[in-house]
Amino acid sequence: MNKILISILCLFVLLVACSAPEAVVEEPADVAEPEMVDEADATENMAEEATDSEADMAEETSDMGTSEDVIRIGFSAPLTGDAATYGIDEQRGTLLALEDIEKAGWINGKQLEFIYEDDKCNGKDATTVANKLVNVDKVKVVVGSSCSGATLSLAPITNEAQVILLTSYASNSKIKDAGDFVFRSIPSDAVLGKRLADAVNSKSKKVAIITENTDYAQGLRDEFTKRAGELGLEIVASESFEPDNKDYRTQLTKIKAVSPDALFVNTQADTGLAQVMKQAFDLGLEVQMYAAYFGGSRVVTEVLSEKAEGLIWADLLDPKFSDNGKALIDRYEEKFGSVPVLNSAVALAYDRTMIIANALKACGEDSICIRDWLYNMDAYNGITGNVEFDEDGEAVGVEHAIYVLKAGEPELVEDLEE
């Protein structure tokens, strides 16, 4: 009997050993050689990562809650691409205003939530943004866009739905006629073109223009040209380029051939301004350079260094020249760990948000009431000026100044003939 049991046990052990799975040892995976990254590509990737982080921040700040005690406002701006430099500054100016509105107890006890959307500074994306904000999110107020073309695409959709649209950075003259629910808190290109042509005329008699083919830049060129004709300022060349073009040498060579006294570099964003100026200098086009809005951008000085010295441009009064404005820019630097690309974009967005907050306090989310309130409001004593709106929804009380770049810093110009 014992022999039988022992035989059975041996057979059992043998069967278990035969059926056990074989241990599998995986060979180590091949390790790829590290890829060498070009320095220029690395810089570009860093810029893209910074932009992505801003987009992430926008998404996070758009998810404050679903309570009935929340008022939602649409925000449309370029948060990616070349124009993101000032779109992000507008977003950050909005966030600073929100901090102050929260400290004051929100809006009749209701908090504000901004739904941040990236319109990429073009009409097609802005149309998509407008449809989402109006038809899906059901907002009664939209702020933006930073770009004229995008704003002109937002306006028909928001206006038809009786949704307020308030832009603080789009200046094309056509926005004036975009609808009864459309407002802007920055002077139009009609004002800017006149101011800039006057500045050029005080120092030069023959000017050339190079213009990016966008609604903003083309509109500004037309207003500048109109005023130049009134002044007798001769435009000896007027060249243009497409937004995706990065080689301007053909246009600049033509301009150089007619020997202008000055060159008005008319671009949609600061990156374009810096690159056009750089290529002009590389071709030996050493003339007085003029620009609009972007001359004080740190992008320009980073690309051109001392070559940017002497650039003249028109912009709103820099917030740093007032106590309240300086305090706002200081808060920006402390909160975000960097200086703004464009101080004016921060200040305009801050004032715009505070004006909308005041309108919501008076009207709630009744857009017809908000429209009428904006048309009739007392001047808002803001950082950019004593802001109010005329019968066309155009800004009153906000003015341009002329600057010259000296030692890498903007300096107010009282008299260009000096």
pLDDT digits (tens, 9 = 90+) for 268-298: 999 999 999 999 999 999 999 999 999 989 8
- pLDDT at position 416, please? 54
Asked if residue 87 and residue 144 are part of one domain, the reply reads yes
Asked if residue 177 and residue 148 are part of one domain, the reply reads yes
Percent of the chain beyond pLDDT 70?
83
pTM of the predicted structure, to 2 decimals: 0.83
Cα-atom radius of gyration of the chain, to the nearest Å? 29
Asked if residue 165 and residue 94 are part of one domain, the reply reads yes
- pLDDT at position 67, please? 58
Asked if residue 57 and residue 170 are part of one domain, the reply reads yes
Q: Distance between CA atoms of 58 and 43, rounded to whole angstroms?
A: 23
Would you state the structure tokens that stand for residue 220, as one six-digit string? 């500004």
Identify the domain containing residue 302 by its residue range.
190-318+402-412
Asked if residue 376 and residue 313 are part of one domain, the reply reads no
Question: Taking residues 76-89, what's their average pLDDT?
Answer: 94
Residue 300 has pLDDT above 90, yes or no: yes
Is residue 367 in a domain? yes
How does pLDDT run across 142-201, given as a tens digit for each residue?
A: 999 999 999 999 999 999 999 999 999 999 999 999 999 999 999 999 999 999 999 999
Asked if residue 213 and residue 155 are part of one domain, the reply reads no
Mean pLDDT of the chain, nearest integer = 86
Backbone angles phi and psi of 392, in degrees to 5: -100, 5
- Please state the domain count of the chain: 2
Q: Distance between CA atoms of 333 and 97, rounded to whole angstroms?
A: 15
Question: Taking residues 339-345, what's their average pLDDT?
Answer: 93
Asked if residue 314 and residue 277 are part of one domain, the reply reads yes
Asked if residue 214 and residue 126 are part of one domain, the reply reads no
- pLDDT at position 167, please? 98
Check which CATH number belongs to the domain holding 113 and give it: 3.40.50.2300
Asked if residue 395 and residue 360 are part of one domain, the reply reads yes
Question: Taking residues 192-215, what's their average pLDDT?
Answer: 96
User: Quick one: which of 209, 405, 410 has its CA closest to 308?
Assistant: 405
Is residue 418 in a domain? no
Is residue 43 in a domain? no
How does pLDDT run across 234-254, given as a tens digit for each residue?
A: 999 999 999 999 999 999 999
Q: Distance between CA atoms of 370 and 181, rounded to whole angstroms?
A: 9
Asked if residue 146 and residue 290 are part of one domain, the reply reads no
Would you state the structure tokens that stand for residue 151, as one six-digit string? 């704003």
> Strands 395-396 and 386-389, how do they pair?
antiparallel
Asked if residue 135 and residue 123 are part of one domain, the reply reads yes
Question: Taking residues 74-81, what's their average pLDDT?
Answer: 97
Residue type, 34: P
Is residue 385 in a domain? yes
Residue 43 has pLDDT above 90, yes or no: no
- Taking a C-beta distance cutoff of 8 angstroms, is the pair 293, 344 a contact? yes
- pLDDT at position 298, please? 87
Asked if residue 172 and residue 56 are part of one domain, the reply reads yes
Q: Distance between CA atoms of 53 and 114, rounded to whole angstroms?
A: 17
Is residue 105 in a domain? yes
How does pLDDT run across 348-400, given as a tens digit for each residue?
A: 999 999 999 999 999 999 999 999 999 999 999 999 999 999 999 999 999 99
Is residue 342 in a domain? yes
